[in-house]
């Protein structure tokens, strides 16, 4: 997979054609995980989310280093797509009342419910204060990476990933609670 990613980054369309069947199932699992807690009748489906992510990945121009780097970028794109969708939905509802969210390691947030836009804004504030903590949250929750994969992608130890995630969760809980 790393070889195909590098060939694709070098401009090979054939490598892209070979790569997509290999990564599609994992992207679909990530999208399904992001959408698992959606309200019934939600308009965004996992297939649509994967297709949008695919289009953005193809146009990203990123030189992918390896599998972990690819899925880290994909996680960031999935988050951006979900936040854009939530903003559009909230605009349509004229800002329906938001509620506080608690973070849980199993499910970070149900996309498109009140709070996703607030969560994104809190993550942006966290990134301004501590970029590494923000990246850890993004990779673990939105990217579905394990602690070991996150550690490899960021060049830190799994213990540091765990510590940074605990600190980030506490900070985000405080921010989302209005503190």
Count up the domains in the chain and report the number.
1
Name which of 144, 128, 154, 1 is nearest 64 in CA terms: 1
Residue ranges making up the domain that contains 105: 2-176
Tell me the C-alpha distance between 156 and 107, whole Å: 24
Helix (H, G, I), strand (E, B) or coil at 143: coil
* Helix, strand, coil fractions of the chain, as percent rounded to 5: 70, 0, 30
Structure tokens at 5: 């990613």
CB 90 within 8 A of CB 116: no
pLDDT of amino acid 127: 92
Digit-by-digit pLDDT tens for the chain (179 residues) are 889 888 888 888 898 889 888 888 888 888 887 777 555 666 778 888 888 888 888 888 888 888 888 888 888 888 888 878 877 766 544 444 445 444 553 334 444 343 677 888 888 899 999 999 999 988 888 777 889 989 988 899 999 999 999 999 888 888 887 75
Angle (deg, nearest 10), helices 46-58 and 13-35: 140
Provide the 10 A C-beta neighbour count for residue 164. 21
Lookup result for tokens 């899925």: 71
Q: Which of 175, 159, 39, 40 is nearest to 103 (CA)?
A: 175
């Amino acid at each position: 997979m790393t070889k195909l990613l590098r060939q694709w980054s070098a401009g090979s369309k054939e490598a892209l054609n070979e790569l997509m069947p290999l990564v599609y199932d994992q992207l679909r699992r990530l999208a399904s995980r992001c959408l698992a807690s959606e309200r019934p009748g939600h308009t965004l489906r996992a297939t649509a989310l994967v297709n949008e992510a695919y289009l953005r990945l193809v146009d990203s121009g990123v030189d992918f280093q390896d599998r972990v780097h690819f899925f880290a970028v994909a996680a960031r794109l999935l988050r951006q797509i979900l936040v854009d969708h939530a903003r559009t939905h909230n605009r349509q509802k004229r800002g329906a009342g938001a509620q506080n969210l608690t973070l849980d390691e199993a499910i970070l947030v149900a996309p498109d419910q009140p709070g996703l836009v607030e969560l994104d804004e809190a993550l942006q504030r966290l990134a301004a204060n501590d970029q590494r903590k923000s990246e850890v949250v993004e990779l673990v929750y939105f990217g579905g990476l394990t602690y070991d994969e996150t550690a490899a992608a960021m060049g830190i130890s799994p213990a540091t990933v765990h510590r940074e995630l605990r600190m980030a969760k506490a900070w985000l809980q405080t921010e989302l609670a209005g503190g």
